[in-house]
Amino acid sequence: MPLLDDNLSVWKISFRWAGLDPDALKYRFYIPSAVKDNIRLLTQAIITNVLWCKSLRPDPLLGPDSNIERIRADKFYDCFARNKYDHDFLKSHTIYRSDFAHWCNRLGIPFPEFWFPAGWVVHELNEKDWLAETDTRKPENTVSVIYSGPIQKLSGKRVDTDEEVWKPARVAAQTIWSQNKSLTIMDVVKQIKATPVLTASSFSESAIRKHIADLSPTPGKPGRKPSKRLT
């Protein structure tokens, strides 16, 4: 039976989307791979600001100002890049059904049946999209026609590459440097290469370097010593 809850925690969404019971006792001791994939997908969407989560916003996560924000950022980054999952942390942050629906609709992701019954009109798309530049809500009497299925993205290949590959990589680089400003560009490139959830990890080190070098907090630290020149 599909859930009709107004909101669910990141923990519950990740399990339900994988067809698993988040309350099963056995999952206190391990997390299935499919659930880990969902957690990383959701956290990546949150940090790149394409999925709205009121309690997890990109700015405080990328530049925490207090000890509480730093602890939260560390636990979030554990999920995103370190393959470590804090149960209590994931259970304490919720995503609203309408915000999840807007995210699916925006990216052309099929609405998961655990939360959106097959054949039902997704009325949540008529609610405010907090990440839209303009109010995208439509009159109630047009919902069943306009939103009969997910809207496919219509954009050029270059735009898709920038959004899907390099924007998440740049956000990841900013996150890594916010944790350790002494890292060289090559140190961060290697961390991105070692993070399969990032599509950019499949690109060459030189390509990744080209797209994140300007974010380095320490200019002139390319990752290797410059060759000495005789004058």
Tell me the pTM. 0.58
Residues 59 and 139 in one domain: yes
Q: Is residue 109 part of a domain?
A: yes
Residues 47 and 63 in one domain: yes
pLDDT score of 37 more than 60: yes
- Comparison of pLDDT for 170 and 158, the residue scoring more: 170
Residues 90 and 134 in one domain: yes
Torsion 219-68-97-117 (CA) sign: positive
Residues 91 and 135 in one domain: yes
Residues 39 and 104 in one domain: yes
Residues 161 and 194 in one domain: yes
Domain end call among 104, 125, 154? 154
Residues 140 and 168 in one domain: no
Q: Is residue 26 part of a domain?
A: yes
Q: Which residue has the tokens 């994140």?
A: 212
Q: Is residue 161 part of a domain?
A: yes
Q: What is the pLDDT of residues 92-149, one digit of tens each?
A: 999 999 999 999 988 888 899 899 988 888 888 888 888 875 444 443 332 322 233 3
**pLDDT given for residue 218 in this prediction:** 74
Positions of E strands within the chain:
7-9, 94-96
Residues 102 and 175 in one domain: no
Residues 132 and 195 in one domain: no
Q: What is the pLDDT of residues 66-78, one digit of tens each?
A: 888 888 888 888 8
By DSSP bridging, strand 7-9 and strand 94-96 are antiparallel
Residues 23 and 126 in one domain: yes
Closest CA to 181 of 189, 192, 173: 173
Instruction: Kindly list the distances between the CA atom of residue 228 and the CA atoms of 124, 219, 223, 225, 231, in Å, as whole numbers in the listed order.
Output: 62, 18, 15, 9, 10
* pLDDT (average), residues 155-165: 55
Residues 110 and 163 in one domain: no
Residue 30 CB: number of other CB atoms within 10 A? 8
Range of the domain at 149: 1-154
Residues 171 and 148 in one domain: no
Q: Residue 118: phi, psi to the nearest 5?
A: -60, 135
